[in-house]
Amino acid sequence: MSIAIRGADGMKFLAPTGYANEAELEKLLSLAPSLLQAADDTSVAFVSSQVDLRDSGILDLLFVNADGLPIAVEVKLARNAQARREVVAQAIDYLSSLTNLTVDELDARVDGKLETALRLFSGADAEDEFERRWQSVGANLRAGLARLVVALDEAPSDLERIFRFLARTSDLDVQLMTVQRFVDATAGEVLVPLFVVTPGSQDHVAPAPASRVSPPELLAVVVAYNEKAPGHLQAVGTSSSYRQIRPPNWPPGMRTHYEFRQTSQQIAAELHIESDAARPLAEMLHAFAGKPIAGGASTLIWDQTWNSGRGRLTAPFSPGAAPQILAQAMQDLINLTFEATQSRLRALYNESKTAG
C-alpha cells in the first residue's frame, strides 16, 4: 500500500519503508500510544517495555487505557517465522501471567511506571480520578480482563484467520494490527495503523451470535451488588452469562472465585473451584451446604459435578428474583466463606511451593 501527500507542488506518492528490526516498531509504539487506540476507544498510555512476566517470559510492551484496562502488546515482523501460529500461544501465555498479578504486583514489576501512566490521564492533582483508575486496573486483573494486541508491519493471512476465530468465538479481547511506516523528507515519518481484527470482529460466514449480550437480570444484580461492595470485591467482566469476584489476596494459580451466573432457568450466587491445585478445598466448602442465605430466600447447595468434579457452592434463585436479594445472597456467601477459604488456599499454595 502507498499513500499520497498533496502539497503546494502537487501530489507525492510514498511507498512503505520497512523496519530494520522489531525493536524499531516497539520504540515507535511506545512513543505514540494513540496508535493503539481504535475507533471509540478511550485514551491509551504507555507503561513499560520488556516486562518480565517470570514463567511466561518477557512481554514486549505494556500499555493501559483510561478505563483501567491493561493492554499487552507483542511485536513481530512478517518476515519473522514466529509472526504466525507460534505468536498466538506466546501472547495468550503472556496474558495469562499478566492477569495473575494484582495491581500492586504489576506496578512493582514495572518499577512504579503503571502509577505514572495512570496519573497521565487525570493530572497530578486529581487523586480521586487516579484512585478510581487504580482500582479499575485491579478489578480487571482479578477478573482476568486485559487486551491482547499483536502488532506487525504486515499481517500474514493464517494469523489473521486465527485472530478472527478468537475474536468471534471467545471472550478474549484480542486485536491484530499493522503499522506501516512512510518516510518523507518534508513530513518526516508517517505512521499508518490498521486494525485488521478487533474484539467482536465478524465475517460473512459466521457472525457472532446475539446471545452474547448480557441479560438484563444479570446486569441489574451486578449493579445492586456493586453499589455496596468494597472496591476489591467488585463484580467485573464482560461475559454474557456471568460476572466474577476475584479477591486480590487469594494466592495465584488457585483459580477460586465468587461468581454471579445466569442460565435460562436460574440466576445464582456461587463460589467456584476451577483448578486441581484448589481441589482439596472442596471438603471444607461442602460443610457449608444447607446453610440459609439472604434471610432464608435460598439455601447453599454443594454441586460436586461442577468443573470436572472440582465443585462449587451455589445459591440458586429464579431469574425474576429481586436484584437486591441476589446481591445480599452474594454478600452472605462471602461473609460465610471468605476467611476460611482464604486460609485454606494459602495453606495449599504454601504446600505446593514446598513440594515444588
| CATH topology identical between 17-197 and 212-355 | no
Domain residues of the chain, as ranges? 17-197, 212-355
Alpha helices in 170-290 (DSSP H): 216-226, 281-286
Q: What's the Cα-to-Cα distance from 201 to each of 63, 197, 323, rounded to whole Å?
A: 22, 6, 33
pLDDT, residue 210, reads 38
pLDDT, residue 203, reads 44
Q: How far is CA 16 from the centre of its chain?
A: 33
Task: Put residue 74 in one of left, alpha, beta given phi > 0 → left and psi -120 to 50 → alpha.
Answer: beta
Nine-digit cell string for 277? 491445585
pLDDT, residue 115, reads 92
- Sort strands 267-273 and 256-262 into parallel, antiparallel or unpaired: antiparallel
pLDDT, residue 82, reads 63
> 17-197: what CATH class?
alpha beta
Rounded distance between C-alpha atoms, residue 59 and residue 50, angstroms: 5
SS3 234: coil
Q: Which residues pair with 272 in a beta bridge?
A: 257, 312
pLDDT, residue 347, reads 94
- Given the candidates 3.30.1460, 3.40.190, 3.30.70, 3.40.50, the CATH classification of the domain at 212-355 is 3.30.1460
Rounded distance between C-alpha atoms, residue 266 and residue 55, angstroms: 39
Residue 319 identity (one-letter amino acid): P
Q: Which residues pair with 298 in a beta bridge?
A: 293
**Stretches in the chain below the pLDDT threshold 70:** 1-2, 39-40, 82-85, 123-125, 199-215, 238, 356
Contacts 24+ apart (CB under 8 A), 334-342: 334/233, 334/245, 334/258, 336/288, 336/291, 336/293, 336/300, 337/271, 337/285, 337/288, 337/313, 338/247, 340/284, 341/250, 341/256, 341/271, 341/281, 341/284, 341/285, 342/247, 342/249, 342/250
